[in-house]
Structure 1
Amino acid sequence: MTRRGRRLALIAAALAVVGGAAGLALYALSDSIVFFYSPSEVVEKALRPGARLRVGGLVKSGSVVKSAGETVAFVVTDGANNVSVSYQGLLPDLFREGQGVVAEGVLAAPDQLRADTILAKHDERYMPREVVEALKKEGRWREGEDVAKP
């Protein structure tokens, strides 16, 4: 084998090892990757219970129910579909009805999320980019519109 042939074989072997390592790393991380869905996508995709995901939209007016302790239940909506969310813990200070929210957790039923993290908007004009894109896709978002009004 010539010097050039050995060099090409070594490069090919190195690329195969790096590709295998990258594939193995992606496979190992596949269970911990969390995707963002709007309530309509959760309903349409019929995701399996136990799936870890993020659901974003607006907190439906009149849906927040605070129970004993730090347990809170509310509904996230994109105007077309709803996902019920239950959360155990302290809510962000800016969490309120009619505002943008992203809930991260485990799907307990096709339209029910058991959240372990709640993210709320941080000022009167901000909403997570994914939520805005989902609302625009659903035709429910207009630039400059006050999202606090249902």
Structure 2
Amino acid sequence: MEDFLTLKKQLCFAVYETASEFNKLYARVLQPFGLTYPQYLVLLALWESDGITVKDLGEKLDLGTGTLTPMLARMEANGWLQKRRSQQDERKVYIHLQPKALEEKPSITLSIREEIRSCQIGLDEYEQLMRQLNDLHKKLKERKS
């Protein structure tokens, strides 16, 4: 049992170390585009469904408005997106991609794909890891407090 209590036997530490390496990988790839990793996640969400509300985007990314609002303001200032207040309900703000985000998408996704490929992760392994991490995430969210 004592062996289990070592740092290298902790699943949380393995996830932490892996996340740290992913952050470095994405920071390096996204830097030439002037993007941070969280901004890339915003673009991914908008590439899936452009024109969603700030509230829906926050729910999709699990980010609060305190984090999301300044990030969206920076992205808008840099020409990635535009925020538009609803004419029907002024409480709703919609986010729309700007041409820059659509034009840069192929270059960004190619750079990410090449960097992931350089990690020697095959498609089957990638899909298996995704399933396992999604299962783990679900179990952590559903645990009894």
TM-score normalised by the shorter chain: which range applies?
under 0.3
TM-score by length of 1: 0.25
**Higher RCO, 1 vs 2 (CA within 8 Å, ≥6 residues apart):** 1
Which protein has the larger Cα radius of gyration, Structure 1 or Structure 2? Answer: 1
Which is helix-richer, 1 or 2?
Answer: 2
TM-score by length of 2: 0.25
